[in-house]
């Protein structure tokens, strides 16, 4: 998993540990393109800031489009009633008009108020006064989006935090099915765990197939594998099956293939400089589990550097066509089949 995402996971865990122990900052700015961690922290604050009997008079939860900065400031400056603190949460804070006006309050926040500004798939301008005020007097947490190639690593780390081991091919399959939205992966995991025996400590690709509803045999994950090994018949069969799916979208398929061949390109270029890389060096370049090293070793044998460069250009071309460029009217499934055939002949 990328360093940035490790850091955000650690920061999230640290904030949650503090609020569970009753340690609160006067103001939180929770933001970023990936909403999972900001929402997790926000919920932890709501769950732990007040006792149930204190909430009637001391908890205010509102939404950015429905309030003004002046109203939020007035509420935040109230003193708690029969409690040590009050909680004010503004969800969808990025939609509040005059949001930056809250910088005046955040410059001198009350210790008896916990103000939470939760942004959904958005971030505050770091050049403006609000961001600077919260950074100085409270806690800012920014959650970046996770790239396609990072998701399998995040899944493995998340499952480990749940006391489970997930096979690398199972993590790749789940990532393909759920995409890069972490909340979707968490929801699919909860569904999976309800159907696994209580004593289970390991999750396999078969478990993902049975409980998440994706076929490993006909997935982009398997297509990239068969392309790596240049198994033409299998690759074309998988491409045809994927393209026939009602949910198939050419841009997503091209994105997955681009990520795969970009890894091959980087790996091949690195091997030209050092043909005796150890596993740690390979892992650093490829960003994948050692389980997949054999596949990438096969890929660099099957696709010389010039071929990979040609494939990268080909993928850009088909990405354009898949989005309707040049008025393309070829069905998406047929485009994938043609793309796969041309990659195999590269």
User: The tokens of 150 are what?
Assistant: 């990072």
Question: Is residue 3 over pLDDT 50?
Answer: no
Contacts 24+ apart (CB under 8 A), 241-246: 242/218, 242/333, 242/336, 243/331, 243/332, 243/333, 243/334, 243/335, 243/336, 243/337, 244/333
Residue 198's pLDDT is 80
Please tell me the total number of residues recorded for the chain in this structure: 346
pLDDT cut 70: percent of the chain above it: 96
Mean pLDDT score, 94-123: 96
How wide is the angle at C-alpha 343 spanned by C-alphas 340 and 346, nearest 5°? Answer: 155
**How confident is the model at residue 219, as a pLDDT?**
84
Q: What is the pLDDT of residues 7-36, one digit of tens each?
A: 888 899 999 999 999 999 999 999 999 999
From CA 220, how far away is CA 254, in angstroms rounded?
10
pLDDT tens digit sequence for 246-271:
778 888 889 889 989 998 998 998 88
What is 3-142's CATH number, 3.40.190.10, 3.40.1440.10, 3.40.50.300, 3.30.160.150?
Answer: 3.40.50.300
- Residue 1: is its pLDDT beyond 60? no
- CATH 1.20.272.10 segments of the chain: 220-344
Distance CA 31, CA 42 (A): 11
pTM above 0.85, yes or no: no
Q: Please check the confidence at residue 2 and state whether its pLDDT lies above 50.
A: no
Identify the pLDDT of residue 58: 97
**Alpha-carbon distance 123 to 120, whole Å?**
8
Residues of the chain with CATH 1.10.8.60: 148-212
Tokens of 163: 């006391």
pLDDT of residue 153: 85
Strands, sheet with 59-63, edge to edge from the N-terminal-most edge strand:
59-63, 86-91, 113-118, 27-31, 139-142
Distances (CA, A) of 60 to 46, 108, 211: 10, 20, 39
Instruction: List, by residue range, all CATH 3.40.50.300 domains of the chain.
Output: 3-142
Residue 30 backbone dihedrals phi, psi, to 5 degrees: -110, 120
**Which CATH number applies to 220-344: 3.40.50.2300, 3.20.20.70, 1.10.10.10, 1.20.272.10?**
1.20.272.10
pLDDT at site 327: 63
Of the listed ranges 120-129, 190-199, 225-234, the least confidently predicted one is: 190-199
- What is the third-level CATH fold of 148-212? Helicase, Ruva Protein; domain 3 (1.10.8)
Q: What is the mean pLDDT of the chain?
A: 89
């Amino acid at each position: 998993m990328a360093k940035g995402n490790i850091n955000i996971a650690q920061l999230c865990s640290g904030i949650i540990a503090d609020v569970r122990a009753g340690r609160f900052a006067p103001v939180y700015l929770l933001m970023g393109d990936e909403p999972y961690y900001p929402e997790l922290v926000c919920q932890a604050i709501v769950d732990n800031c007040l006792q149930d009997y204190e909430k009637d008079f001391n908890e205010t939860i509102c939404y950015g489009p429905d309030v003004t900065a002046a109203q939020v400031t007035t509420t935040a400056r109230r003193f708690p009633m029969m409690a040590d603190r009050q909680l004010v949460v503004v969800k969808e804070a990025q939609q509040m008009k005059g949001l930056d006006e809250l910088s005046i309050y955040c410059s001198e926040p009350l210790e008896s108020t916990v103000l939470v500004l939760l942004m959904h798939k958005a971030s505050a301008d770091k050049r403006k006064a609000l961001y600077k005020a919260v950074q100085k007097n409270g806690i800012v947490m920014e959650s970046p989006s996770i790239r396609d190639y990072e998701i399998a690593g995040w899944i493995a780390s998340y499952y480990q935090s749940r006391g489970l081991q997930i096979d690398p091919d199972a993590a790749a399959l789940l990532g393909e099915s759920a995409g890069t939205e972490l909340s979707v992966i968490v929801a699919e995991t909860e569904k999976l765990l309800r159907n696994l025996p209580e004593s289970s400590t390991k999750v396999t690709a078969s478990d993902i197939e049975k409980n998440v509803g994706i076929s490993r045999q006909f997935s982009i994950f398997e297509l990239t594998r068969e392309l790596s090994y240049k198994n033409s018949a299998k690759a074309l069969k998988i491409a045809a099956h994927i393209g026939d799916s009602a949910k198939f979208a050419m841009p997503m398929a091209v994105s997955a293939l681009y990520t795969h061949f970009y890894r091959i390109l980087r790996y091949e270029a690195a091997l030209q400089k050092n043909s005796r890389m150890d596993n740690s060096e390979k892992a650093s370049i490829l960003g994948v589990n050692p389980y997949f090293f054999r596949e990438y070793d096969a890929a660099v044998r099957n696709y010389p550097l010039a071929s990979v460069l040609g494939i990268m250009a080909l993928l850009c071309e088909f990405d354009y066509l898949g989005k309707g460029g040049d008025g393309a009217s070829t069905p998406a499934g047929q485009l994938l089949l043609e793309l796969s055939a041309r990659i195999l002949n590269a």
